[in-house]
Amino acid sequence: MLSFRTEIEDSIVERDIIDLANKIELFKEGKVNEEKFRSLRLARGVYGQRQFGVQMIRIKLPFGRVSSDQLHRICDVSDEYSRGRLHITTRQDIQIHHVSLDRTPELWAELEKSDITLREACGNTVRNITASETAGIDVDEPFDVSPYADALFRFFLRNPISQEMGRKFKISFSGTDADTGLSYMHDLGFIAKIKDGKRGFKVLLGGGLGSQPRQGDVIYEFLEADKIIPLTESTLRVFDRYGERSKRAKARLKFLIKDLGLNAFVQLLENEQLALSHQTVAIDTSEFDKEVELPIVEVPSVEIKDSNLFEKWKTANVFKQKQDGLYAIGIKVILGDFYTDKARLLADLIRDYAGDEIRLSLRQNIVVKHVKEELLPFFYIELEKLGFTDLGYNSTQDITACPGTDTCNLGIASSTGIATELERVLKIEYPQFINNKDITIKISGCMNACGQHSMAEIGFQGMSIRTKDKKVVPALQILLGGGNLGDGTARFADKVIKVPSKRGDDALRYLLNDFVKNSIGEERFLQYYDRQGEIYFYELLKPLANVENLKDEDFIDWGADKNYVIAIGVGECAGVVIDLIQTLVFESEEKIELAQQAINEGQWSDSIYQSYASIVNTAKALLLFEEQKTNTHAGIIRDFDTYFSKTGKISLSMSFSDFVYQINQNKPTEKFALKYLNDAREFVKSVELYRENELKSVV
């Protein structure tokens, strides 16, 4: 194993980083199965790129909050381990691309010195918890949701119940009824509410995007704030046990709710109550309730050369905070990409003249908080030097796009290339949309909707088209009529028509020109879309869909210089095929060790869940040995009874179902944690002995 110095004070974090370094070595030696290694590194923010041999690192930044010190640290890491480019995601993370796998542990160690983690930024885990970027400063918010997002992040980080689920799990917080945190498209969405003087949340369950978008169901109109962590824990437990694990396309929570029915799912949540680590969890908000401390500085004297442009900037990009005399500045970051030289200067600016904090937004932008009104001219001049005063923050001219074919394995057609062209078209040809908040434009390179195209008024999805002579053309599916309606309600866009990518700019022109010409009075785009109807827009765009008049340039995607070739899923490192069953058994033994470790630390609930995971993992190994399906934990438990307990192949004092489901029939006490751990140890031993005898009989 590697001898690796992290210089991290937190022993748990240090152990995590060293474990990643050791697992990388085991993988390279062919001692860890590729699938399991992929799961491990993804849960530590390390994602294989489209380009062979390098990784994308996703930095987990809860609700998008970043201090000047943290931004400097991220810049240092990007310069040392990558190419100095930072990419803001639609989940308020920052990604760094083109990193060597071998260097990821030391990169992580450097970030942790400023309390920045990679843990569970990717993979089948609780992903970054997002929130309204205006949380804490919004004039309309009943209270600041930031401490609640922070509390959930800390409670579920490294929590055993959310380490190896069937798929990822996403949570958001919205500060107001405008639902700027987009609660409706999350597995769990929370909207701040006040009832009878108490803080709480409207709660939505089971939302999601992808190829089959689904609006979350309202399960509580009001849930007290101290119950949101128990609710989330029970939801994760049910999802972990009953969620699909073999068919990735059907493994999200929204499909489980569809299969079980909402009432049955809620009943399963009720069944988990006894096993929860806490029935209520009071959330400390004191850190966020403090009065903002701003540096005392003399207002620098500056000269505004174009007062008209300055006023336009204030109208488009500056908004008043709920704190008297303070303003926030929205920085439009085109495609979410900015560079370390500018990021460092921005970090110095917020440290010396503002509240020492930025928030990354769901639209890949930056919000600078706590700027005194008298400092706005100075900030304008300084941000202008950095190229951070482009007009149109959060407007039609502010396009959201995923990385697409630039770096993502799943990208089908370029999203950044067409986004750049559409930004240019809007800026030059449609200046009247500079402050329009009515139309959002979002682009994804594939159906997975990282660019959130299916929830936009105008959306584009990367695809391909085959001509009659079987040539392949990069294409865009055009979606219309989506939008956020507020308070947890929304509408998803219709798939209207597919056109060659190089005609995407004309498609936007057709749509905006038609809207400008034919809309009535103050009619909003969605009202106009509904009045005209989907068929109207299909006919409007139909001339662009004709592939019988293609030019040579149509075969070259935006931002490329060669003819388009479909290349999906390229770039993940190949590994040595080894015994998956033995790997699962080995992991079960590791989980036993973690369960013992949790007991030593007085974490009874964590220990119980590690024991449960060990038991189910071991049962899965034996079912795979017998070539049986292992789609869900619940299915594994049921089938193990059928094939091993009832047949007497594995002897237990009760049915396997009763044996496993002790987990939700007992309170998480020390006594039960010790008993369950001992049960798990004995079970793993009995399975290893059974498999050993079976292998001998085969030989």
Q: Please check the confidence at residue 576 and state whether its pLDDT lies above 50.
A: no
Residue 235 near residue 188, CB atoms below 8 Å: yes
Query: What amino acid is encoded at 509 in this protein?
Result: R
CA–CA dist 492, 534 (Å, integer) = 13
Mean pLDDT of all residues in 226-234: 97
pLDDT reading at 153 higher than 90: yes
CA-to-CA dists, residue 268 to 28, 261, 399, 612, 615, angstroms: 42, 11, 41, 17, 21
Residue 413: pLDDT above 90?
no
What's the confidence (pLDDT) of residue 40? Answer: 80
pLDDT tens readout for residues 61-98: 999 999 999 999 999 999 999 999 999 999 999 999 99
pLDDT of residue 7: 58
pLDDT of amino acid 573: 26
What pLDDT was estimated at residue 585?
Answer: 76
- Does the pLDDT value for residue 140 go beyond 60? yes
Place 219 in a pLDDT band, splitting at 50, 70 and 90: very high
Residue 566 per-residue DSSP state = -
Largest Cα–Cα distance of the chain, in whole Å?
88
> What is the tens place of the pLDDT at every residue in 621-646?
888 877 888 899 999 999 999 999 88
Strands 171-174 and 130-131: parallel
Distance CA 361, CA 319 (A): 15
Q: Are 94 and 109 in contact (CB under 8 A)?
A: no
Segment holding 532, helix H or strand E: helix 525-532
Q: Which two tokens stand for residue 528?
A: 């106009």
- C-alpha distance from residue 633 to each of 80, 251, 330, 417, 620 (Å): 42, 12, 45, 42, 8
* Confidence tier at 558 by pLDDT (50, 70, 90): confident
Q: Which one-letter amino acid corresponds to residue 245? A: R
What is the reported pLDDT for 621? Answer: 86
Query: Percentage of the chain with pLDDT > 70?
Result: 95
How far apart (Å, rounded) are the C-alpha atoms in residues 161 and 170? Answer: 15
Domains and CATH numbers, the chain: 11-112 (3.90.480.20), 130-288 (3.30.413.10), 292-385 (3.90.480.20), 400-555 (3.30.413.10), 580-698 (1.20.120.330)
Q: What is the pLDDT of residues 661-690, one digit of tens each?
A: 999 999 999 999 999 999 999 999 998 888
**CA proximity to 490, closest of 126, 172, 183, 81:** 183
pLDDT at 8 over 80: no
The model's pLDDT over 104-136, given as tens digits with 9 standing for 90+, comes to 999 999 999 999 999 999 888 999 999 999 999
Q: Has residue 33 got a pLDDT over 90?
A: no
Q: Average pLDDT in the 498-524 region?
A: 95
Mean pLDDT, the chain, integer: 91
Q: What angle do CA 294, 295, 300 make, to 5 degrees?
A: 120
